[in-house]
Amino acid sequence: MIELIRTNSENLEFKKLVHLLNSDLAKRDGDTHSLTQFSSITDLKYVVLALKEGESIGCGAISMHNSNAMEIKRMYVSPELRGQRIGEKILSELEDWSRELECTKCLLFMGSKQPEANKLYQRNGYYSIEKYGKLKDIPDCLCFAKDL
C-alpha cells in the first residue's frame, strides 16, 4: 500500500530523494546541463512524498507559476519501484492540491532524455507546449501543460 503525505521542502526524506533524482539526471544529462540551474528546492511549500511500509520511495512538488497555474517540480520514484504507477499517484495528488489552491492548470519542463517521465505525463493528459520564460533558449528542454 502506498501512502501519500503532504509536506514541504524542509522534509529530510524529500531532500534525500531529490539528491537521488539529481544523481539520476546527472547520469542522463551530465553535471552541467542547462536545466540544473532550476533544480533548487528552497522554499517549496507544496511537496508530496510517497511512502511504502514507512519508507520514502517517491516525491514531487508544485510551485506557483502564475495566479492560475502551478509548476510540477522534482518528480522522482525509486528505480526499483518504477512501473507500478507510483508517479501517477504523486502526480494526481499534486494536481488535486493545485485545484485546492484554485489553480486551473499545471505545467512542467524536463530534459529530453527522460522517456519514462514523458510517457507518464502524456498518459495523464499533459500536452506539449512552447517553451516558456526561462526555458526558451534551452535546446533539449520539453514543456508540457494540463488543464485542470
Q: Where are the domains of the chain?
A: 2-147
> How far apart are alpha carbons 53 and 146 in whole angstroms?
31
The strand pair at 69-77 and 55-66 is best described as antiparallel
Higher pLDDT, 39 or 29: 29
| pLDDT tens for each residue of 87-145 | 999 999 999 999 999 999 999 998 888 888 999 999 999 999 999 888 888 888 899 99
Give residue for cell 528546492: 41
Residue whose C-alpha is closest to residue 107's, from 73, 67, 60? 73
Say how many residues make up the chain.
148
- pLDDT score of 35: 53
Residue whose C-alpha is closest to residue 29's, from 112, 124, 146? 112
Model-level pTM? 0.92
CATH 3.40.50.720 is the classification of domain 2-147? no
Give residue for cell 508540457: 144
**pLDDT tops 60 at residue 37:** no
Give kind and range of the element (H or E) at residue 106. Answer: strand 105-111
The residue type of 30 is G
Give residue for cell 520511495: 57
